[in-house]
Amino acid sequence: MGASIGKLAALDFGIQMLAFVPSALFQTEKFYDFTGSLTFIILARLGLRYSQGTFHHRVQANLVTAWAARLGSFLMYRVLHEGGDRRFAKVVKKPSVLAMYWAVQGVWVLASLLPTLINNENKRSSKLTTRDYVGWGMFAAGFLIETVADYQKFKFRSDPDNAGKFISSGLWSISRHPNYFGEIMVWSGLFLSASSSFTGWQWASAVSPMFVYYLLTQVSGIPILERSGLKRYGHLAEYQSYIKNVPELVPFFGKP
């Protein structure tokens, strides 16, 4: 692994630990997601400086920047609009646990960006490959799905008439977690396009989409929301029908 990646990794965790201090002092999580998104942007832009600056390098960095700017602004607005993040209700009062959350965010940033950061250190020709186009196409599709799903859910929850109801329309009618499906596509696409320059050990950066998938399906994403959904709506026949007939993640496929 190159020296540039080591420097960016140190910066990544430095930012998280620096942000942890006021987070613990004021017992707030309101800038957690914003800090994570900002770290993606900082590392993507600085990582570009270590590259040849080819068209491919610039596109990769710009796609990461666009994704992080969109997600960060949306999550920040949502937290301010809703007054907080339920995931942190008890965590903010336990500094040692809160520190782990900030550390995990550092791991998430680095693991997700690893293919792009490795790609920055590789020499590339100006010619694009089929893998580049397919990867960027996957990113575009995932970005669109994630953005539309987030908008649909936010709009649904902002309507007072939907209080006590769950969303099952739009993209949410074909997947119980379409935003997470889009997220996984985003990082799978960026890995695929970056991999067109990989050799040897660099293929180990496939951990990027694998880590995102694991995090969303086994740790902080789907499991928490599924438990919350059952607690809030499990007594409703329509919700039982919804989880029985709509796939958990991949639209139209997979065991509901």
Domain positions in the chain? 1-123, 128-256
| Cα–Cα distance, 167 to 108 (Å, whole number) | 28
- Kindly state the tokens that stand for 185: 């596509």
Give the per-residue pLDDT at 255.
56
Q: Both ends of the chain: CA-CA distance in Å?
A: 41
Q: Angle 211-213-214 (CA atoms, 0-180°, nearest 5)? A: 65
Say if residues 45 and 57 touch (Cβ distance below 8 Å). no
Nearest to 132 by CA among 202, 70, 69, 58: 58
Instruction: Spell out the alpha helix ranges (H) of the chain.
Output: 3-25, 32-49, 55-82, 95-121, 130-158, 178-194, 207-214, 222-233, 237-245
Rg, Å, the chain Cα set: 19
Sign of the torsion angle spanned by Cα atoms 167, 70, 40, 66: positive
For residue range 89-146, list pLDDT tens digits in order: 677 788 889 899 999 999 999 999 999 999 998 887 778 999 999 999 999 999 999 9
For residue range 157-186, list pLDDT tens digits in order: 999 999 989 999 999 999 999 999 999 999
Q: What is the mean pLDDT of the chain?
A: 91
For residue range 22-32, list pLDDT tens digits in order: 998 988 888 88
List Cβ neighbours of 42 (8 Å cut-off, separation of 6 or more): 11, 15
| Cα–Cα distance, 214 to 150 (Å, whole number) | 20
Supply the pTM of this predicted model.
0.91
